[in-house]
Structure 1
C-alpha cells in the first residue's frame, strides 16, 4: 500500500532530516521514473535546497528553493530509504538523491511510480482534480457530511474515489467502514447525520492510527529506522476473510463488487 498513512509516515520521517539541505547529486537507474532526461533531472536539482516536504493525498511533494517541486508518486511495492548507504547496492534503486551532508534519499521500485520535477503551476494543474485531504482543516464533520450527502453511489466507492477524498485506498476504506459499523454497499444518501459523523471520526481515527504505526511499508526507512510497517498486523477486516470479527465474533466476509474486493463483517456491518 502507498496510501495516506504510508506517505504521511515518509513525510514525517523525512522532514526533520532533509529540510534546509541542498541536493548535490542525482543518480537515475530507471529513466522511465522521471519526466525528463537524466541530465536535465540532475541539472534541475543539483545545487537546489529542499525547503519543506508536503503530502497531498497519496503524493509526496518536495518544495525546492527555485520554486519548482519534486512530485513523488509511490505505488504498491515502492519505497523510500534514507542514509549514507542504501540497504542494498545502489543499482537496486530507481533514483537516488545525494544531499550536502552525505546522506542520500533512495527511491526503490518505481515500476509504476515516479519522481517528477515540475513547476509550481504544473503541479497545481495535476493535483487540482483531487478531492480534499482527510485532514484538511476545511474538511470539518459538517462539510464532510454535506459532501457525502451530495455524492451519488455507495460508501466504499466514495471513500476510494480520489476526486471525492484523496489518499484512501481499498484496504483502509474497509477498516474505516468497519470502525464506523457501516456496510460498504450502503448508499451515501441513506446515511443519517449521526452515521455521517461516525464515518468522519472513524476515517480520521483509522488513518492517524495507521500513520502512527508506520502504515504497511515492507521496507525499513533507515538503518536505525523507527517503527515502519507496524500497522500490517493491526487490520481488523482487510484480508481477514473467514477470521472472527474482533468486535462481535462473527465471520469476516469477502465480496467482489465491480472487480473490487471488500472485506467486512456481515453481522455488525448491516446492509440495511
Structure 2
C-alpha cells in the first residue's frame, strides 16, 4: 500500500504536469470508487482547472477551480498513471480524468481504494482523526516522547496507526525502526530518551530518502518515468527476509505483530 513517500512522489509529479490544465471529461468505470452519483461526480469535475495538488497522510488531494476537492486513497493495489495524448493502456482504469491537451489521468485498480469529490468541510471531517504529519513542523521530539510514554502497545503497530502518526505503513515503519536501531516488538512506553531521539531522527530521514529515490511503487507514473520505484533497491529490511543485514553480520527475519508483517535484524535492532 502506498505510504507518504509514494503519495508525495505522485503529488510532486502531478504538480509538474497537470496544474492549470482543464478537465474536459470524466470517465467512471467503477462506481464503487466514488462517493456520489456518476453524473454528480462528472458535473463537479468537468470543465474545471486543476488549481493545486497536495497530500495528507496517504491521501492525494486535487484542488479544483470550483472549490471542490478530489481526494484519493489508493489502498492496496491502486496506482496512478498519466497517459500521453493518443497513448493506449491495457488497463481500463477505475476513474479517468481527460485533459484539454489530450492527456488522461488514470486512477487504476481502485478495488479497495477510492476517489471522492468533497467540499472543504467534508474533507476536514475525513482527516479529523489523523495524527500529525511526520514531515511537518508540528512533529517534534517533545511530542513524540510524551506520546510514546503514554502508549502500552508495541512500537511497530503504533507507528502504522494513522491516529498516532499519519501516513506511515508496514514498509516504512520497518525501515524507520531499522534506522533507529529498535526492535519492532519493543513496548512504546519503555523506549528511553536516547532511543526516542534516535526514532525521531530516523522518521524524517527515512521518509525523505525514500521520496528522493522515488518510493517503492514498481509501476511508472508515465512514459519514460525513471524515478518512480527507485527506492526498492535501497530498502534495508522490508521484504528482505533471509538476506544479510546491511549494517551487521546478522540476517533479516520476519515476524508478525498485531497481524502485521515486520522485517528486522535481531542482531543490531534492540
Query: Is TM > 0.5 for Structure 1 vs Structure 2?
Result: yes
Q: CA RMSD in A?
A: 1.6
CA deviation vs aligned residue, 1:138-160 (integer Å, no higher than 9, x gap): 11222222222223311112100
Unaligned runs of 5+ in 2: none
CA displacement 1:196-241 (0-9 Å, x = unmatched): 1110111111111111111111211111213110111222111111
Aligned residues of 1:22 and 1:49 also touching (Cα < 8 A): yes
C-alpha distance in 2, partners of 1:222/1:37? 29
Structure 1: gaps spanning 5 or more residues: none
Query: Take 1:242 and 1:91, find their aligned partners in 2: how far apart are those partners?
Result: 35
* Secondary structure in 1 matching 2:51: strand
Q: Does 1:150 align with 2:139?
A: no
SS at match of 2:25: strand
Determine the structure 2 residue equivalent to 1:196: 196
Contact 1:154 1:186 (8 Å CA) reproduced: yes
Looking at structure 2, the residues matched to 151 and 124 of structure 1 have their Cα atoms a distance apart, in angstroms, of 26
Question: How far 1:96 sits from its partner (Å)?
Answer: 0.8
Change (3 A) 1:65 1:27: same
Distance (Å, rounded) in 1 between the aligned partners of 2:46 and 2:52: 16
Shift of 1:85: 4.3
Give the paired residue count: 270
Kept in 2, the 8 Å contact 1:86–1:106? The answer is no
Q: What secondary structure does 1:93 align onto?
A: coil
Residues 117-150 of structure 1: CA distance to partner in whole angstroms, max 9, x if unpaired?
A: 0111011001100111111211122222222222
* 3-state SS of 2:94 partner: strand
Matched, 1:259 2:259: yes
- SS of 1:130's equivalent? coil
| Aligned match of 2:160 | 160
Aligned partners of 1:246 and 1:218: how far apart in 2? 22
SS class of match (1:250): coil
- CA drift of 1:84 comes to 2.7
TM-score with structure 2 setting the length: 0.95
Choose 50-59 or 18-27, whichever is displaced more: 18-27
Counterpart-to-counterpart distance in 2, 1:200 and 1:192: 12
Per-residue CA deviations over 1:222-267 (Å, capped at 9, x if unaligned) read 1121311011122211111121111111111111233221111111
* 1:236 paired residue number: 236
Structure 1 residues 38-66: Cα deviation after superposition (integer angstroms, max 9, x where no partner): 22111111122221111000000111222
Gap change, CA 1:86 and 1:141, over 3 Å in 2: farther
- Equivalent pair of 1:150/1:189 in contact (CA under 8 Å): yes
Task: Using structure 1 for the length normalisation, give the TM-score.
Answer: 0.94
Q: In the alignment, what sits opposite 1:92? A: 92
CA distance in 1, matches of 2:90, 2:104: 11
CA contact (8 A) 1:83 1:223 kept: yes
Paired residue secondary structure (1:208):
helix
Displacement after TM superposition at 1:102 (Å): 2.2
Which residue in 1 is equivalent to 2:61? 61
What secondary structure, in the 3-state scheme, does the structure 2 residue paired with 1:152 have? coil
Please give the alpha-carbon distance, in whole angstroms, between the structure 2 residues aligned to 1:233 and 1:173: 17
Q: CA–CA distance in 1 between the matches of 2:53 and 2:258?
A: 36
